[in-house]
Amino acid sequence: MLPELLLFLAPLQGPVTLEVTDPVLVTASSDVLEAALGNALHFEVQGPAAGLLFLAYSATPPFGAGSIGGVPLEVDPLTAMYPLLGQALGPAGQHVHVQPIPASLPAGLSIWTQAAVLDPQVGDLLLSNGVRIDLVPPKPGDLPLLEPGHHIGLVYSTPPATAAPAMDAAWGECLAKGVDSYELSLGWSDIEPAPGVYSTMALTNLLNTASGAGLVPYLSVTAIDAGGLTLPSDLVDPLDASRLAPGLTWDSPQLRDRFQQVLDIVTPSLVQSGGFFLSLGSEVDLRLAGDPAQTLDFASFVESARSYVHSTQPLLAVGVSLTFDAAVTAGPLLAALGQAADNLAWTYFPLQPDHTPRDPSVVPFELALLQQAVAPRPLVLQRIGYPSGYQPVPTNGSSEEQQRAFVEAVFDVVLATPKLRFASLVQLGERGPTEAAELAAELGITAPLFLEHLATLGLCTFATGTPKPAYAELLLGLASL
């Protein structure tokens, strides 16, 4: 139908533009676009207000298709399909057509597309630029299971009874304003509490809680959590719980085979619950840094687990998380794990070596460094946070205003960085003194300033749930997305 229409209208090269976007890959082009099979592409046309839009695409090259009135056809009219025929442009002369690309198409196929708009003022047909779309297989590291756009998580901490009403109200407000995801964490030993004995209770409870709140889960099922091991007891040295059992390394078949049993339990449930990322270790650089042999063995463990997951869940991203320091050093550890994983996630708490926080003004530069470390893959922030310090007189050089400025800076970066896909803030409420001390002991850092850091990361106070200025900034940031 459209080729016949073109023959009877005198075309003029006019102010019509076509841009095609793959919102999952966060790429756009008015010339040549690489897009992943299975993604829904956006065809954005700009032309005369109230004009009639025709959109065509073809899987055969336009060479030899000719031209009309000196304007080249960028699609082959003999094989073209026309998803839009006479679609009226709005008052702003703009229309976005969303077209899913079937996952069944062959990788390597190219599609040529072009728009034409009938100008209602003078009756001329105006042709757009053409765009060639090169189709590639979806890559799990590009997070194809995560809906396009930015996703913000917020860790909820169980408050004391005195703060529970205020905290519950704040949590509900955050969900209503746009918190849509959640970072969940289990150790390998939570799934296999005894050798060869498997339990789904903890996993099911976490995923059901997230799903019940309408939250997309990011899940860690860790073999390493910070500096410690989270393995079943028989895989750990009975004389030193920080070491693997004698005779084992991370690439030992025994470890790989046993972990595959855990993955058989975890991955179907995670994908069914809408999960998009499975982390096999949290802040693993805290253990592996300075140990090249163990790093390579663990990278091999990650690579094996990733391949096994993809045999049944090819679109689920599998990786590990690192601290910001791993991006700063950018050494063999980052290279090995970056190659073994689909993508890397990060924890970001801008602290000096003495556990005092850096000024929030460093946030844009430091998050850009993390983006560069994983480029061209999207940026995933497993945990981010900033302490306010004890009130009314902090001893760590921070303040409630600095915490607020940190949250503001994070959202400024999110808005300016389309590839920052997921960020989880730590946390809604402060930790109590006992919880902070226990966590510090687990991490092996008991310095008073580190305790202050852990205790004051919350956006609401521990005792009463009173919002700090950073909480209001979070709501403003959510509204801006």
Task: Give pLDDT tens digits for 1-16.
Answer: 344 444 334 344 458 9
Q: What is the pLDDT of residue 69?
A: 57
Class (C level, CATH) for 2-137:
mainly beta
pLDDT band at 434 (very low <50, low <70, confident <90, very high): very high
Is the pLDDT at 67 greater than 90, yes or no?
A: no
Rounded Cα distance, 41 and 35, in Å: 8
Torsion of CA 18, 19, 20, 24, to 10 degrees: -160
> Which of 17-26, 67-76, 471-480 is predicted least confidently?
67-76
Give residue 135's Cα distance to chain centre.
22
What is the Cα 343 distance to its own chain's centre? Answer: 9
HEC string for 141-196: HHCCCCCCCCEEEECCCCCCCCCHHHHHHHHHHHHHHCCCEEEEEEEHHHHCCECC
> What is the pLDDT, as a whole number, of residue 406?
98
pLDDT of residue 63: 75
- Least confident range of 100-109, 215-224, 397-406, 454-463: 100-109
Per-residue tokens: 424: 């989880």
- Sequence-separated (6 or more) residues with CB below 8 Å from residue 201: none
Question: From CA 449, how far away is CA 395, in angstroms rounded?
Answer: 7
Q: How confident is the model at residue 70 (pLDDT cuts 50, 70, 90)?
A: low
Residue 97's nearest CA partner among 56, 149, 60, 133 is: 56
Which tokens sit at 383? Answer: 């945990």
pLDDT averaged over every residue in the chain: 93
CA-CA-CA-CA torsion sign (416, 418, 419, 425): positive
CA distance 87 to 57: 16
What φ, ψ does residue 371 adopt, rounded to 5°? -60, -40
Structure tokens at 34: 């690489």
Q: What is the pLDDT of residues 248-260, one digit of tens each?
A: 999 999 999 999 9
pLDDT at 455 > cutoff 90: yes
**Distances in Å between the alpha carbon of 103 and those of 131, 144, 315?**
20, 12, 12
Rounded CA gap, 470 and 457, in Å? 10
Omega before 427 cis (within 30°)?
yes
For residue 135, the SS3 value is strand
pLDDT of residue 73: 84
CB 356 within 8 A of CB 395: no
| 65 has a pLDDT exceeding 90 | no
**Can you give the residue ranges of every domain in the chain?**
2-137, 142-480
pLDDT at 214: 96
pLDDT top residue among 65 and 461 = 461
Distances (CA, A) of 441 to 202, 331, 438, 447: 24, 29, 5, 10
Provide the residue type at 335 as one letter: A
pLDDT of residue 64 exceeding 80, the answer is: no
Contact 186, 151 (CB under 8 A): no
pTM metric for this prediction: 0.91
CB atoms within 10 A of CB 196: 9
Q: What percent of the chain has pLDDT over 70?
A: 96
Identify which has the larger pLDDT, 202 or 90.
Answer: 202
What pLDDT sits at residue 15?
A: 81
Q: What are the tokens at 194?
A: 């005894």
3-class SS shares of the chain: helix, strand, coil, % to 5: 35, 30, 35
CA 283 to chain centre: 17
- Copy the structure tokens of residue 102: 């079937």
Domains 2-137 and 142-480 share a fold: no
Q: What is the DSSP letter of 51?
A: P
Give the fold, CATH level 3, of 142-480: TIM Barrel (3.20.20)
pLDDT score at 25? 94
3-class DSSP state for residue 162?
A: coil
Q: How many CA atoms lie within 13 A of 173 on its CB side?
A: 14
* Alpha carbon of residue 390 to chain centroid: 32
Interatomic CA distance for residues 200 and 265, integer angstroms: 7
